[in-house]
């Protein structure tokens, strides 16, 4: 068992499900292994620099693959329900991260070991998201196929002329069920993979028992909540751009090195961040800082290859109190 540090600096690092699929033309598992090895080298650098790290991850593409397998095998075997799909991807992606991180630690002679915790996230059964499903899952399809899914009880929507997709609710995460276990593991020195795919959404029934609900949770929101619950020093979102920018994609685009929570809120109000892209990441950072008990807590957004430089304040975008 790794030795616990006397003064542990805790970082929650949220990586996207697409971090495992760099090239859409090569989504196979062998190429996913190559991608995850690159990602974990950057995380291992953080651990080597003294951070006890919790890694969270997305699972969008992987969920889509399993849903497609359900469709292709429908005449042969029973389908896998969505809660088990999220659990499956927590296990498989967690395994990949766990193995590659532990290999990095072994090669570098770092006295740390990574474990994966299958994570449930409590949501409100009355969350309005359940009456307005908006989160796309699975691949695009023709309208006729979408109508077949609708007859099976799925919600389907037409997506900006690109085809039809299934959508499910994306309720607000309220509590990380395994947060205490995750924090205890971190305090003992373990590197933890948790909240994969935003966690498995659950509610409590009349008896107080946990039951899965048909929904998915935004990975960055759940990661932000976890960072708050374990009182992390750093919340880092690894995404597709080196820095957040104002007027993104326009001739007057301007990168942001640092902004306060108040400035971030103002930029959101001014419409600088796209709702399906950077806006939820900025909102997740704001939530973390709002609930942090540490005055020097910081959130950082950057791309995987620049994690180290961002921690040295050489690049990335920092959001501070």
Report residue 177: phi and psi, to 5°.
-60, -40
Q: Which of 18, 70, 103, 303 is catalytic?
A: 18
Q: Classify 129 as helix, strand or coil.
A: helix
By the 8 A CB rule, do 60 and 88 touch?
no
118-to-111, 158, 160, 303 alpha-carbon distances in Å: 23, 33, 35, 26
Q: Which of 135, 198, 199, 306 is catalytic?
A: 135
Per the annotation, the verdict on 18 as an active-site residue is yes
What number of helices (H) and strands (E) belong to the chain?
9, 17
294 is catalytic: no
Single out the catalytic residue among 42, 197, 219, 306. Answer: 219
Please pick, among 42, 102, 281, 306, the residue that the annotation labels catalytic. Answer: 281
The question of whether 281 is a catalytic residue gets the answer yes
List the catalytic residue out of 16, 17, 64, 138: 17
Measured on CA atoms in the order 222, 228, 231, 233, is the torsion positive or negative? positive
98-107: burial string, b at 16+ Cβ within 10 Å, e else: bbbbbebbee
List, by residue number, the catalytic residues: 17-18, 135, 219, 281
């Amino acid at each position: 068992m790794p030795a616990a540090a006397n003064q542990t600096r805790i970082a929650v690092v949220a990586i996207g499900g697409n971090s495992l699929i760099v090239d859409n033309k090569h989504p196979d598992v062998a190429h996913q292994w190559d991608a995850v090895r690159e990602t974990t080298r950057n995380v291992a650098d953080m651990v080597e620099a003294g951070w006890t790290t919790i890694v969270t991850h997305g699972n969008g593409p992987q969920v889509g693959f399993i849903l497609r397998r359900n469709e292709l095998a429908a005449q042969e075997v029973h389908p896998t329900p969505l809660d088990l799909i999220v659990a499956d991807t927590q296990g498989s992606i967690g395994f990949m991260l766990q193995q590659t991180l532990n290999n990095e630690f072994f090669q570098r002679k770092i006295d740390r070991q990574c474990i994966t915790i299958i994570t449930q996230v409590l949501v409100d059964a009355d969350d309005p998201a359940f009456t307005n499903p908006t989160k796309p899952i699975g691949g695009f399809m023709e309208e006729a196929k979408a109508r077949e899914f609708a007859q099976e009880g799925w919600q389907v929507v037409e997506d900006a002329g690109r085809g039809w997709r299934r959508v499910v609710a994306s309720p607000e995460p309220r509590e990380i069920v395994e947060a205490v276990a995750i924090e205890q593991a971190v305090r003992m020195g373990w590197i933890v993979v948790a909240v994969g795919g935003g966690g498995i959404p659950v509610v409590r029934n009349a008896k107080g028992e946990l039951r899965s609900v048909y929904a998915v949770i935004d990975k960055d929101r759940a990661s932000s909540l976890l960072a708050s619950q374990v009182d992390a020093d750093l919340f880092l979102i690894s995404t597709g751009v080196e820095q957040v920018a104002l007027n993104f994609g326009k001739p007057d685009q301007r990168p942001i090195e640092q902004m306060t929570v108040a400035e971030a809120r103002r930029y959101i109000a001014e419409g600088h961040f796209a709702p399906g892209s950077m806006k939820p990441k900025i909102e997740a950072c704001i939530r973390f800082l709002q609930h942090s008990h540490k005055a020097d807590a910081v959130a950082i957004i950057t791309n995987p290859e620049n994690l180290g430089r961002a921690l040295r304040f050489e690049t990335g975008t920092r959001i501070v109190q």
